[in-house]
C-alpha cells in the first residue's frame, strides 16, 4: 500500500492566527495609464505574547494577503504580559496616530475596538483598557502606534527588572544581597549648622 508523500511533509514554519486589518485598492500611474493592485494589512500572533503586522501589495486580494502574512512574520515582536494584562500605562505614536494602553483588572475584558482589539486578542491579552487619542482613521498607522506602545512597555519592563528590591533578590537567590549605598559626607561643623537652622526657624 503506497503512502501519499504530501501527507508526510513537515512544516518548518510556525502557524499563527491571522486577522485582516485592512484591504485597499491602489493605483500606480505608468506609461500606458493606471495599473491597479490591492494592498493588504495583516496582523498575526500566537496568543502567547508574540505578534506582528505586515503590509504588501498583490495583483489580487489573496496574493496581497499571502505577501502581507509573510511580511508580518519578518516583523514579530514579543509582548510583556502580567496576569493577562499589560503591567504599565503607555502611549504609542506613529505619524499622526496616538494610542493609549492601560492595565485593567481581571474580568474587565478587552475595552478596545477595531485594530487595537484585534492586536490584543492575537497577543493573548485578556484584560486591557485602551483609547485612540488621535482623530486619524488610518488602520495601518493605528496598528503601528499600538505596536509602539507594546514596545515601550517591553523596554520599561526590561529596565525595571534590573532595579529589583532587596526582598525580591532575597526571594530569588535565598541570600541577602549586598547593595552598595552612596556615602553622604556630613558637614564638619554639625553643631554650627544646627544652630544656624534653629535661628532661622528650620526644624
Q: Can you give the pLDDT of all 203 residues of the chain as single tens digits? A: 334 444 333 343 568 899 999 999 999 888 888 889 999 999 999 998 899 999 999 999 999 999 999 999 999 999 888 888 998 899 999 999 999 999 999 988 999 988 999 999 999 999 999 999 988 899 999 999 999 999 998 888 877 654 555 555 455 555 554 444 444 444 445 455 455 555 555 55
Residue 151 to residue 77: CA distance in whole angstroms: 8
Helix (H) or strand (E) holding 29: strand 17-30
CA-based nearest residue to 99, from 26, 42, 153: 153
Site of grid cell 509582548: 79
Q: Give me the pLDDT at residue 5, please.
A: 41
Residue carrying the nine cell digits 474580568: 107
Task: Enumerate domains of the chain plus CATH numbers.
Answer: 17-161 (3.30.230.10)
> What local confidence, expressed as pLDDT, does residue 41 receive?
95
How deeply is 90 buried, as exposed, middle or buried, from its count of CB atoms within 10 A (0-12, 13-18, 19+)?
buried
Which of 146, 151, 22 shows the shortest CA–CA distance to 93?
146
Q: Looking at the whole model, is its pTM more than 0.75?
A: no
Say if CB 133 and CB 91 are below 8 A apart.
yes
What is the three-class DSSP state of 78?
strand
Structure confidence at residue 131 (pLDDT):
92
Amino acid at each position: 500500500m503506497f503512502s501519499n508523500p504530501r501527507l508526510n511533509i513537515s512544516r518548518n514554519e510556525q502557524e499563527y492566527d491571522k486577522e485582516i486589518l485592512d484591504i485597499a485598492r491602489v493605483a500606480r500611474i505608468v506609461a500606458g495609464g493606471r495599473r491597479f493592485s490591492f494592498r493588504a494589512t495583516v496582523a498575526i500572533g500566537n496568543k502567547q505574547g508574540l505578534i506582528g503586522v505586515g503590509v504588501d501589495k498583490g495583483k489580487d486580494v489573496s496574493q496581497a494577503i499571502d505577501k502581507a502574512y509573510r511580511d508580518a512574520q519578518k516583523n514579530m515582536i514579543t509582548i510583556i504580559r502580567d496576569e493577562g494584562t499589560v503591567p504599565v500605562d503607555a502611549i504609542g505614536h506613529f505619524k499622526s496616530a496616538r494610542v493609549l494602553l492601560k492595565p485593567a483588572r481581571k474580568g474587565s475584558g478587552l475595552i478596545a475596538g477595531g485594530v487595537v482589539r484585534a492586536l490584543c486578542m492575537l497577543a493573548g491579552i485578556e484584560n486591557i483598557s485602551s483609547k485612540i487619542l488621535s482623530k486619524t482613521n488610518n488602520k495601518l498607522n493605528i496598528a503601528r502606534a499600538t505596536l509602539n506602545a507594546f514596545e515601550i512597555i517591553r523596554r520599561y519592563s526590561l529596565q525595571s527588572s534590573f532595579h529589583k528590591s532587596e526582598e525580591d533578590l532575597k526571594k530569588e537567590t535565598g541570600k541577602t544581597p549586598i547593595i552598595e549605598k552612596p556615602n553622604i559626607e556630613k558637614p564638619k561643623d554639625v553643631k554650627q549648622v544646627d544652630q544656624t537652622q534653629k535661628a532661622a526657624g528650620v526644624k
